[in-house]
Structure 1
């Protein structure tokens, strides 16, 4: 059965991100290889992955080599560090789908790179990246940056379990799926 995963902010090839985000890697090569291995230990060949931006700072050939090694059907929502390259650049590099804007998933989840303003009356949960180790409190945001998920994609089921727990703790009804 196909599973669905979400992730963001790998920053493949970006040496400075190791220091910026206190990532537990000695070199950019170690970081890249570790994140590829973690991805493939989590995601199967037929699974779907929504990457919510800031995938790679490498050139097209190196980015393509990484994408060819990653399991799953990969959709990219462009992040702030991806937007200097065209949608066709990312498709040529190996993503199956690329969106310059957010995507509504299952009529209830707003997938974006940057977190969106969501008040408690909005009917969506914003699954996002961009803010790395930070986290918004509340039941309307869910951060899938690699720093929160041991550098691997998080399943839709795990997101639903976490949201249900948060909503039960806050006394709100569970999210729709």
Structure 2
């Protein structure tokens, strides 16, 4: 049975992210290869992956090569870096994503999928699944950060996310 995964902020090809986020890789090629390997160790070809933005700074041909190597049906919600240099929804579809969205999505009528975290007051009955803030994390149950830095550079499954939110696992 297919599973659903969430992830964000891979920044494939981005040299500066190594320093900015203190990523544990000697260089960009090693970072890219480890992230592809960990994605494919986690996700099967039948699974669905929501990437919540900032996927790649590579040109379209190189980005297409990376996307084609990754397992699963891939859905991108554009992040701030995904829009740079005139990159549009159609650019990302041409790069190999099966779906690309300019704005966030609602998943199962309860989870708000966005790149940047949204303001959520304590009375809102939703969970904001987001990226963008990398190593930072909100201490409330209404935000769930899926940036690769929190998940050992792999996507996190919907089931695991729900168990964490329910307090069943830490």
Same fold (TM over 0.5): yes
Give the 3-state SS of the residue equivalent to 2:167 in structure 1: helix
Q: What is the aligned partner in structure 1 of residue 22 from structure 2? A: 22
Alignment partner, residue 69 of structure 1: 69
Q: Alignment partner of 1:76: what SS?
A: strand
Structure 2: unaligned runs, 5 residues or longer: none
Q: Superposed, which structure 2 residues align to 1:112-127 within 5 Å?
A: 112-127=114-129
Q: What is the Cα deviation at residue 143 of structure 1?
A: 0.1
CA shift digits 1:54-106 (9 cap, x unpaired): 00000000000000000000000000000131100000000000001010000
Flag as ranges the 4+ runs of structure 1 deviating above 3 A.
none
Aligned-residue offset at 1:130: 0.2
Please give the root-mean-square deviation of Cα atoms over the aligned residues, in Å.
1.3
TM-score by length of structure 2 reads: 0.97
Among 108, 111, 128, the residue aligned to 1:109:
111
What are the superposed Cα offsets for residues 142-173 of structure 1, whole Å, 9 maximum, x if unpaired?
0000000000000000100000008xxxxxxx
- For 2:149, the equivalent position in structure 1 comes to 147
CA deviation vs aligned residue, 1:111-155 (integer Å, no higher than 9, x gap): 000000001111110000000000011110000000000000000
The unaligned stretches of length 5 or more in structure 1 are: 167-177
Of residues 146, 155, 158, the one that matches 1:156 is 158
Of the structure 1 ranges 70-79 and 82-91, higher mean CA displacement relative to structure 2 is found in: 82-91
Question: How far apart in 2 are the matches of 1:29 and 1:146?
Answer: 17
Partner of 1:60: 60
Aligned pairs for 1:33-48 (under 5 A) are: 33-48=33-48
In the other structure, the counterpart of 1:99 is: 101
The residue number in structure 2 matching 1:32 is: 32
**Partners in 1 of 2:80 and 2:124 — Cα distance?**
25
Q: CA deviation at 1:52?
A: 0.1
